[in-house]
Amino acid sequence: MNAPLIDSFGRVHDNLRISVTDRCNIRCFYCMPAENVTFMDRRDLLTFEELERFARIAVTLGITKLRLTGGEPLVRRNLDELVRRLAAVPGIQDIGLTTNGLLLADQAEALFAAGLRRINVSLDALDPVRFKEFTRRDGYEKVIEGIHAAKRAGFDPIKINAVSVRGMTEDQVVPFGHFARETGVEVRFIEYMPLDADAAWEREKVLFAQEIVDQLSAEIQPLVALPPRDTRAPATDYEFADGIGRIGFIASVSQPFCLSCNRIRITADGKLRNCLFSLEETDLRGLLREGAPDDEIAALVRQSVSAKKEGHEINTARFVQPERPMYSIGG
């Protein structure tokens, strides 16, 4: 292996997030417009062969962990075949998937058989009516069915990603706490971030992680902070005092974790991004399709990582929201 991917702040990058599509079968307000979405031409999406090749190059740079995202990755046909290809790449130690769960019940077994072991399900409310407020679509029951199918298939851990929005989700906090205790899945509350297509984000709309800790501790039982499983992971983990039920928090706004970030991402159309909030991208699709040598592609990856900024600057007047919304970047 070559020298690891280190930026100018000394951060080592070993985690690659791969978006496989910008298409989605729901329309969450914090991610996509409700209607009239223009998606990428399918010919612009990286093929499975191109994604596999890039993963092999990334491994030589120290990448060991992959996560498949979208859009909704399960709308990409034969995704289990991509998982199988990636799982066979020497040096890849871990593959995860983030999904909204609508199609999970039908695909969970095939994905597990292909080598996928970890799944995150995006679910912001534990009620069909509230679910539709967020997603602007029906399908709550299918998501719950998908979570149970993933458990039966053998996935562990299964994590629920719930976006926290002030004025909308306070009444969902305690139900999610009980859900974690009753099902054994880990619930992770994610602070609302400025990546919506409508550019309607305001800091005042963020329901902060500490407020949720306080609410769960008061209404169920105290939450106890757990030692980090990985000091570079974005989530801070807690457990209820009796040891039943694990809760995580991704406090991107109130407690930024930029200085320990170990992630890079490639969009579905082959643009490398060194930060979720980056304003610059590096085009790799052209090189992959032109048959450029691995060393040339690897050099561009190093160049991108080297240019990574210190942090996202959400809490400063300097912050500029990326032109691409979340569904186009990859969650």
Which of 20-34, 120-134, 136-150, 294-308 bottoms out in mean pLDDT, i.e. has the lowest? Answer: 20-34
| Structure-token pair, residue 85 | 């290809």
What pLDDT, on the 0 to 100 scale, is given for residue 178? Answer: 98
What pLDDT, on the 0 to 100 scale, is given for residue 175? Answer: 98
Which of 118-122, 258-262, 289-293 bottoms out in mean pLDDT, i.e. has the lowest? Answer: 258-262
pLDDT, mean over the chain: 92
What pLDDT, on the 0 to 100 scale, is given for residue 188? Answer: 97
Residues 9-14 have a mean pLDDT of 96
Reported as a pLDDT band with limits 50, 70 and 90, residue 30 is: confident
pLDDT tens for residues 145-198? 999 999 999 999 999 999 999 999 999 999 999 999 999 999 999 998 776 666
What pLDDT, on the 0 to 100 scale, is given for residue 198? Answer: 66
Q: Is the model's pTM score more than 0.85?
A: yes
Q: Is the pLDDT of residue 316 over 70?
A: no
Residues 236-263 have a mean pLDDT of 90
Bridge partners, residue 191, by sequence: 164
pLDDT tens for residues 286-304? 999 999 999 999 999 999 9
Q: Is the pLDDT of residue 204 over 80?
A: yes
What pLDDT, on the 0 to 100 scale, is given for residue 194? Answer: 73
At 197, phi and psi to the nearest 5?
-70, -25
CATH number of the domain that residue 239 is part of: 3.20.20.70
Which of 33-42, 93-102, 171-180 bottoms out in mean pLDDT, i.e. has the lowest? Answer: 33-42
CA separation, residue 39 to residues 43, 45, 323, 324 (Å): 11, 11, 15, 12
Q: Are 231 and 67 in contact (CB under 8 A)?
A: no
Residues 228-251 have a mean pLDDT of 90
More confident residue, 329 or 180: 180
Report DSSP letters for 176-216, one per residue.
Answer: HHHHHHHH-PEEEEEE--S--TT----GGGB--HHHHHHHH
Tell me the C-alpha distance between 157 and 224, whole Å: 20
Range of the domain at 26: 5-329
Residues 50-67 have a mean pLDDT of 98
What pLDDT, on the 0 to 100 scale, is given for residue 317? Answer: 67
| Structure-token pair, residue 317 | 């007047």
What pLDDT, on the 0 to 100 scale, is given for residue 195? Answer: 66
Q: Is the pLDDT of residue 277 over 90?
A: no
Q: How many structural domains compose the chain?
A: 1
Q: Are 174 and 240 in contact (CB under 8 A)?
A: no
What pLDDT, on the 0 to 100 scale, is given for residue 196? Answer: 62
Q: Is the pLDDT of residue 1 over 70?
A: no
Reported as a pLDDT band with limits 50, 70 and 90, residue 232 is: confident
